[in-house]
């Protein structure tokens, strides 16, 4: 198995732990980290031994945002020198969309500072365990940019439009108690207990839940956030129930309940995931778009206060 340069990766008891591993830089986000995170989630999806994923940071931070040690945003260098470059996709969005597409449940263990991409990366996780001492902030406007990581889609769905607008427009640090009450955090834990708490939740999923049912449930809940009518959910759930109630996993689930023992679900995500969703509405693709003058960078006009 190929080792990662800026990530830790370990699978124990059917739980994969992916660790942002630049502790000396507070796990600041780089293009290498982007590519490795995408590869890590490809790996967890393909490995039937993995039934849940924990995402955390090494050291005292989760992720301190983009690596600005070079004096600016690394992403701003993409396409530099080209007369009419293709529009480069936001690196943070590439990661959050890959987490969104995960076939395995994801638990974020936000063990410390989480700003910029560090604050948006946990949004597509299914459960977020946050340190009760964490500094979490959506500081984008304070840095002269806009939110990343498809946060304009995820954040209002997680915490509501009122909190999303306040947090992103003020760019203030949000206290952990407020993160909990707004729904950004599912659980608060002491800094040295965040990872263990997250792994405990992941193990509960791994030990008790059908992997195929978990994959379908995850996609149902996230996918139905954008549908116009509950009939779409009703149809998809009916298809899922038709397949699930007549299959080997349901037989095992009922038998385990009646026999008062842990379940041993026989079906796997790689081989037995049914297609219960309407194919008439595929996910939008990133456009093959050249950079347009209508959003070209504006130089300093002079006289900046």
The C-alpha atoms of residue 53 and residue 102 are separated, in whole angstroms, by 9
pLDDT tens digit sequence for 228-267: 999 999 999 999 999 999 999 999 999 999 999 999 999 9
Helix axes 151-159, 161-170, angle to 10 degrees: 130
Let me know if residue 301 belongs to a domain. no
Last residue of a domain, one of 186, 206, 226: 206
Do 68 and 121 fall within a single domain? Answer: yes
The C-alpha atoms of residue 210 and residue 216 are separated, in whole angstroms, by 10
Let me know if residue 99 belongs to a domain. yes
Name the CA radius of gyration of the chain, rounded.
21
Which residue has 């076939």 as its token pair?
Answer: 103
What's the domain count of the chain? 2
Helix axes 31-46, 91-100, angle to 10 degrees: 10
Do 117 and 149 fall within a single domain? Answer: yes
Do 140 and 98 fall within a single domain? Answer: yes
pLDDT tens digit sequence for 159-216: 999 999 999 999 999 999 999 999 999 999 999 999 999 999 999 999 999 999 999 9
Do 70 and 98 fall within a single domain? Answer: yes
Regarding predicted confidence, which is higher, 82 or 231?
231
Let me know if residue 225 belongs to a domain. yes
The C-alpha atoms of residue 145 and residue 265 are separated, in whole angstroms, by 47
Last residue of a domain, one of 174, 206, 238: 206
The C-alpha atoms of residue 39 and residue 33 are separated, in whole angstroms, by 10
Do 196 and 221 fall within a single domain? Answer: no
Domain at 227, CATH number: 1.10.12.10
How far from the centroid of its chain's Cα atoms is residue 223's Cα? 14
Please answer whether residues 119 and 147 qualify as being in contact, where contact means their C-beta atoms are separated by less than 8 angstroms.
no
Last residue of a domain, one of 206, 236, 255: 206
pLDDT tens digit sequence for 27-70: 999 999 999 999 999 999 999 999 999 999 999 999 999 998 76
The C-alpha atoms of residue 61 and residue 75 are separated, in whole angstroms, by 22
Do 182 and 221 fall within a single domain? Answer: no
Do 115 and 59 fall within a single domain? Answer: yes
Identify the domain containing residue 236 by its residue range: 210-272
* Residue 137 CB-density burial (10 A; 0-12 exposed, 13-18 middle, 19+ buried): buried
pLDDT of residue 297: 81
The C-alpha atoms of residue 99 and residue 107 are separated, in whole angstroms, by 11
Tokens of 58: 């090494």
Domain at 69, CATH number: 3.90.226.10
Let me know if residue 20 belongs to a domain. yes
């Amino acid at each position: 198995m190929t080792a990662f340069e800026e990530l830790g990766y370990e699978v124990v008891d059917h739980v994969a732990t992916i660790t942002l591993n630049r502790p000396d830089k507070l796990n600041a986000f780089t293009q290498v980290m982007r590519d490795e995170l995408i590869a890590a989630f490809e790996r967890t999806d393909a490995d039937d031994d993995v039934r849940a994923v924990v995402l955390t940071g090494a050291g005292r931070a989760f992720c301190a945002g983009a690596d600005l040690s070079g004096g600016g945003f690394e992403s701003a260098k993409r396409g530099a020198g080209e007369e009419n470059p293709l529009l480069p996709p936001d690196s943070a969005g590439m990661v959050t969309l890959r987490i969104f597409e995960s076939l395995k449940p994801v638990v974020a263990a936000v063990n410390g500072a989480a700003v910029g991409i560090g604050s948006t990366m946990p949004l597509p996780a299914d459960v977020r365990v946050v340190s009760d001492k964490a500094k979490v902030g959506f500081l984008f406007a304070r840095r002269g940019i806009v939110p990343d990581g498809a946060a304009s889609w995820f954040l209002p769905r997680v915490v509501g439009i009122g909190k999303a607008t306040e947090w992103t427009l003020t760019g203030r640090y949000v206290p952990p108690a407020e993160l909990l009450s707004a729904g950004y955090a599912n659980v608060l834990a002491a800094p040295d207990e965040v990872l263990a708490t997250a792994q405990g939740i992941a193990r509960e999923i791994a030990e008790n839940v059908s992997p195929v049912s978990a994959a379908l449930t995850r996609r149902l809940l996230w996918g139905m956030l954008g549908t116009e009518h509950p009939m779409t959910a009703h149809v998809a759930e009916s298809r899922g129930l038709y397949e699930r109630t007549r299959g080997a996993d349901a037989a095992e689930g009922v038998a385990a309940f009646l026999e008062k023992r842990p379940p041993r679900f026989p079906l796997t995500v790689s081989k037995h995931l049914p297609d219960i969703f309407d194919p008439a509405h595929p996910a939008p693709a990133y456009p093959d778009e050249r950079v347009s003058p209508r959003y070209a960078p504006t130089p300093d006009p002079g006289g900046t206060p």
